[in-house]
Amino acid sequence: MLFPSGITLSKMELDCLKHVEADPETWLLETLATYVQYRRDALIREWEPVLLADPAVRRIPKNPDTVARLIMARPDFKTRAQQDEEQEEPLYLYNTRKYEEKERGRDTVALCPGGIAITNQHAAYILAHVQDISDFIIGAVMGSVHRGKVKMMRQYQPALVADPNTDDLPATEAEQVALIVARPEYRTLPQQARG
């Protein structure tokens, strides 16, 4: 289980995420499921020439999960972390560090409060290509939060500036986002797409 208590987001971060994703929890779980399949397929593409050239391999299963398990059981298979360790590369948790540096205050919510369940097999597909699954997930979430904030500001900040009832703008992004989502004409991108 990843993030057993969920991923803590500020109200502003959740508003920004909801600006681009109608259901952030479903989006995250679907993104993870898609990435698992993508990484499995990439693993097979990467190792297919090795399997075909190995005289000890007599048959290659048709089932992609079975092929991936065959690859990961090989003595010459190494996860990304193992490969980096051999090269004396340190564990790189850029997304986690940036996430932890941000002050979220008291007004927070948990994304996926029951945690994120992932099978060992699916985790192995991802770990074949990334050092740390949690760091990858934090990067995906915070990347979408940032994308939502940029799109929201680009669309609604001109209306805030032009509003004759407002003399000045709040000095923080959190206050500007709160002002935007409180406007009666505010619509998320999914709401706009529905019409």
pLDDT at 18: 97
Q: Tell me what pLDDT residue 19 has.
A: 97
How distant, in Å, are the alpha carbons of 115, 117, 168 from that of 4? 4, 9, 42
DSSP state letters, 1-42 = -BSTT-EEEEHHHHHHHHHH-SSHHHHHHHHHHHHHHHHHHH
DSSP 125: H
The residues spanned by each domain of the chain are 7-194
Mean pLDDT for each 10-residue chunk of the chain (195 residues)? 94 96 96 96 96 94 96 95 88 89 91 94 94 95 97 93 87 92 94 89
Q: What is the pTM of this model?
A: 0.88
